[in-house]
Each structure stands twice: as C-alpha cells, then as structure tokens.
Amino acid sequence: MPKIIFLGTNGWYDSGTGNTICILVDTSSCTIIFDAGNGIAKLDKHVDFNKPAYLFLSHFHIDHIVGLHTICKYNFSRGLHICGQAGIASILGKLLDAPFTVPAKDLPFDIQFVELPSQKAQIPFHVTSLPLLHASLTMGYRLEVDDKVITFCGDTGYCDNAVELADKADLLITECAFQPGQQNINWPHLNPETAAQIAKESRAKRLALVHFDAEMYRTIEERKNAREVARKIFPDTVATIDDMVIDV
C-alpha cells in the first residue's frame, strides 16, 4: 500500500507554513518523489535508501528544483533516476554542476536521467505523462504502483490533460496556488474550485491540495478555508501541510 508523505507543501518560497514542494510516495519496491523543492531535505527521515528511487519533476521553475542542491547528503545505493520532459538531461546537467552545487559525477550515488515519454520503458512501473497548462512546459504524471493509481499535477491551470491523467485515480494530488475565486490567464494555476472540478470530472477517489503559494496563503487557516471551498464541489478533499501522511 503506497504511503504518501508531504515533505513540502508551499509554492514559490519557504515560509512559516512550510517548505517548497516535495512529495514522497513510499511503495513496496521503490521510492518515488514528486518534485524537488526544499522539502526534499527531509527525505532521510522517511526513506529506505536501499530501494531504487525515481524523482519525477513537473517542470523547472525554481521552487520545484531548489532542493536538488541538498541531495549530496544522501546515498541512494540503487541510484537516483530523475524523470521528466524531453531535454531534462541537458537542462539539469547544467544545474547539477559547478559552480552551482556538487557536480553530479562527484555525488556518492549514480544519477540517471529518464526522458518521458520516450524512455518510460526504463521505469519498472506504469507511468503516463502529459503536458499541462502553465507558463513553461510542465508535465503531469499518472503512476500505477502497488495496485493503486496516483496522479500528480504540479503547476497547471485547469486543462483536459489533467482530467485525463486523474481518470478514476485512487489519489489525485494537485497544486492549489491560488485563493478561492482567484485566476490569471497569463500565469495559469489552480484555485480550490478548479482543482475540485478536475477531481470531480475525472471521478478520482480523493483529492489532496498542495503547492499553496506562500504569498497568497499566509496561514494554515487559509488552507483549511480552501479545503472547505473545494469540498463543496468534491467532498473527499484534504488540504495538505508539511509532514502530513496519507495511506492510499
């Protein structure tokens, strides 16, 4: 049974409400991580480093990759696979190098980049990836692990691909950067209503809201309010906070 641990639940920057986005999916055979915000620095509280590890990056906005400079403290004995859109190796190859951080070749474990969808045969479980609606190319992911379907839609506005990825998912995890009623066509993100709409239309079983913009959501109370707004459209909604655990 996959266990989901929300290590970072903020969007944009760290604040008193939490760290930037990182979600751990602990399965019987491997470690799966969605995005590498500063929450990834808490990974060692929870992870068995003897399992193979797969990090899925939604896109390269810095709040989703800033934690990569902390992974040098870990030892993924079976390697770390970093999975994402075409071109990920050349883009991250520049960042995971001097002068930004410890060069990938000097890390105590192997990093292997996996471009999706073209190289998905390298991943030992079923993965579907589709582009979402955001200011730069962002991928959403649907994983089938331990007989459960988990969908992660990182930064996105409402779009058909998000609904498709979440089709009857056991758990849909979506961003919720905006406050209720808030939108911006030039900078697409979800608000609680549009996130809940995706969950309802896809007939997902549960919805977990994450990536609350640190500027828009100053308190945990505001997240609870977002949850109540979402529940009017999709009742089985949780608003995540750092260190929250969900068994799927």
Closest distance of CB 60 from Zn ion, Å: 8
Between 26 and 155, name the residue whose CB sits nearer to Zn ion. Answer: 155
Between 57 and 111, name the residue whose CB sits nearer to Zn ion. Answer: 57
**Is the distance from CB of 246 to CB of 4 less than 8 angstroms?**
yes
**Is the distance from CB of 180 to CB of 226 less than 8 angstroms?**
yes
Closest distance of CB 59 from Zn ion, Å: 6
CA angle 201/160/20 to nearest 5° reads 90
Residues of this chain that bind Zn ion (CB under 5 A): 11, 61, 63, 155
98 CB contacts (<8 Å, ≥6 apart)?
Answer: none
- From CA 75, how far away is CA 88, in angstroms rounded? 22
Closest distance of CB 20 from Zn ion, Å: 8
The residue behind tokens 């998905």 is: 120
Closest distance of CB 184 from Zn ion, Å: 12
68 CB contacts (<8 Å, ≥6 apart)?
Answer: 36, 40, 92, 95, 96, 101
- From CA 54, how far away is CA 40, in angstroms rounded? 13
Between 25 and 132, name the residue whose CB sits nearer to Zn ion. Answer: 132
| DSSP class of 65 | T
Between 2 and 157, name the residue whose CB sits nearer to Zn ion. Answer: 157
Phi/psi for 49 (5° steps) reads -75, 0
Between 155 and 242, name the residue whose CB sits nearer to Zn ion. Answer: 155
The two structure tokens encoding residue 118: 């073209």
- From CA 4, how far away is CA 152, in angstroms rounded? 12
Closest distance of CB 17 from Zn ion, Å: 14
Between 123 and 173, name the residue whose CB sits nearer to Zn ion. Answer: 173
Closest distance of CB 177 from Zn ion, Å: 7
